[in-house]
């Protein structure tokens, strides 16, 4: 992973850890993008053990706890967390009656996972890349070219698609293995 740069910047906010050496255990501040950088909220990672999933909670001042502002913050935190190879999911929880927070989570790409004791649990999973589709297309193009060369378009196309599929599956397995390690 490349060098981390702080603060994380959204349209309206700067989001920054109070201790840059201890990102996962210390509180983060959410400040307005103004000259005085007024703090309007805090954020904290909970149980950050780096085993695939991290949990966080965000507290915003009442006037900034709106869907439009929440989307920025929740999306920025998922982008930050997914820069780490070993984090596959980022989760948070909110009260079931907090419509602004629920709407912001959903607009930021988080998905409802469960409801329990008046709380609603949301998370976002890191998207997997898929090389198979790309290599099938490349294989099909190479197969067309090979088919034209040998004067049998069907044989060339089928061979190209099979070779592309095999290469794509091998690339996906290699990437999955790197993520696990």
pLDDT, tens only, 152-175: 888 888 888 888 888 877 777 776
Res 76: pLDDT: 92
- The closest of 144, 135, 138, 147 to 175, measured between CA atoms, is 135
User: Exposure string (b/e) for 106-130, b if CB count within 10 Å is 16 or more?
Assistant: eebebeeeeeeeeebbbbbbbeeee
The answer to whether position 18 is within a domain reads yes
The answer to whether position 97 is within a domain reads yes
Asked if 32 and 105 sit in the same domain, the reply is: yes
Asked if 121 and 136 sit in the same domain, the reply is: no
Q: What range defines the domain where residue 19 resides?
A: 8-125
Distance between CA 37 and CA 56 in Å, rounded? 22
Average pLDDT over the chain reads 84
Using one digit for the tens of pLDDT, what is the confidence trace for 60-85?
Answer: 998 888 888 999 999 999 989 888 87
Give the confidence band of 31 by pLDDT, cuts at 50, 70, 90.
very high
The answer to whether position 2 is within a domain reads no
Asked if 32 and 91 sit in the same domain, the reply is: yes
Total tally of structural domains belonging to the chain: 2
Asked if 173 and 85 sit in the same domain, the reply is: no
């Amino acid at each position: 992973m490349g060098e981390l740069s702080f603060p994380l910047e959204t349209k309206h906010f700067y989001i920054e850890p109070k201790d840059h050496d201890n990102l996962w255990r210390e509180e983060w501040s959410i400040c307005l993008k103004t000259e005085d950088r007024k703090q309007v909220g805090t954020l904290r990672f909970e149980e950050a053990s780096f085993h695939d999933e991290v949990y966080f909670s965000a507290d915003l001042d009442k006037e900034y706890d709106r869907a439009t502002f929440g989307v920025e913050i929740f999306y920025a935190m998922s982008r930050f967390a997914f820069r780490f190879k070993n984090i596959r999911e980022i989760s948070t929880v909110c009260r079931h009656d907090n419509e602004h927070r629920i709407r912001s989570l959903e607009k930021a790409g988080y998905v409802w996972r469960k409801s329990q004791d008046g709380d609603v649990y949301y998370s976002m999973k890191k998207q997997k890349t898929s090389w198979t589709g790309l290599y099938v297309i490349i294989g099909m193009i190479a197969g067309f070219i090979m088919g034209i060369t040998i004067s049998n378009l069907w044989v060339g196309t089928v061979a190209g698609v099979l070779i592309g599929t095999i290469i794509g599956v091998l690339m996906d397995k290699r990437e999955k293995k790197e993520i696990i390690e």
